[in-house]
Amino acid sequence: MPKFAANLTMLFTEAPFMERFALAAKAGFTHVEYLFPYPFKAEDLKAELDKHGLKQVLFNLPAGDWAAGERGIAALPGRSDEFRAGVPQAIEYAKVLGVNRVNCLVGKRIAGLSDDEHRQTLIENVRFAATELAKHDIELVIEPINHYDIPGYLDRIGHIQIADNPGRNQPGTGEINFPFIFRQLDESGYPGWVGLEYIPTPDTTSSLAWLKTMTA
């Protein structure tokens, strides 16, 4: 069974934020996460963690003006100075809170700028953040987010490979809804190839029957 951490940004919202630590502990959680610690003093957050016997597993780097709809700035040309200024701030919070993993939200595309401009900005900023965080034994992770929850979120898929689950056999042998996935790929304008990286059963020729039924 996986280990579960309560996200205090999303859960226990019937209570003010600083009261959610107690509610998480009462519900049986030993670990928590939340989007941003920055509106609060690190020492106050640590006091709540300690008071209720909780450990924190994750929070995000500063991500721009969240209230105005921004969802990260790591990939936004012209915002690199702001992004990099947030890295030492995150490090200070992580050291106080005992967090060894920090998440990066890359942001939404800026109209009129190319994917390559966004991508180059992201590469340079992620390299900077990862290097600085590593000096303090903090790992940087990057979160890909679907376009339903955050329309326009920068996400570049270069290649897709498929197999069903469980068993890693051909589509139709497991529980994955491949017709839905294929429709989403078409609607998103995905231009690449989909590699058939599955274990065919009972043989390759027979396993290809799904191509006629699922892609018609």
**Cα–Cα distances in Å, from 114 out to 64, 75, 77, 192?**
20, 11, 10, 18
Give helix 80-97 / helix 115-134 axis angle, nearest 10°. Answer: 30
Tell me the pTM. 0.83
Amino acid at 214: M
Catalytic (active site) residue 43:
no
Identify the active-site residue in 92, 143, 175, 187: 143
Cα gap 74→62, rounded to integer Å:
9
pLDDT band at 6 (very low <50, low <70, confident <90, very high): very high
CB neighbour list of residue 29: distance below 8 Å, 6 or more residues apart: 4, 5, 6, 54
Q: What is the pLDDT of residues 137-190, one digit of tens each?
A: 999 999 888 878 899 999 877 789 999 999 999 999 999 999 999 998 898 888
Cα gap 216→212, rounded to integer Å:
6
How much is the mean pLDDT over the chain?
94
Q: What is the pLDDT of residues 18-47, one digit of tens each?
A: 999 999 999 999 999 999 999 999 999 999
pLDDT at 1: 54
Catalytic (active site) residue 124:
no
CATH topology of domain 6-142: TIM Barrel (3.20.20)
Identify the active-site residue in 82, 92, 139, 197: 197
pLDDT band at 58 (very low <50, low <70, confident <90, very high): very high
Domain ranges within the chain, ordered by starting residue: 6-142, 160-214
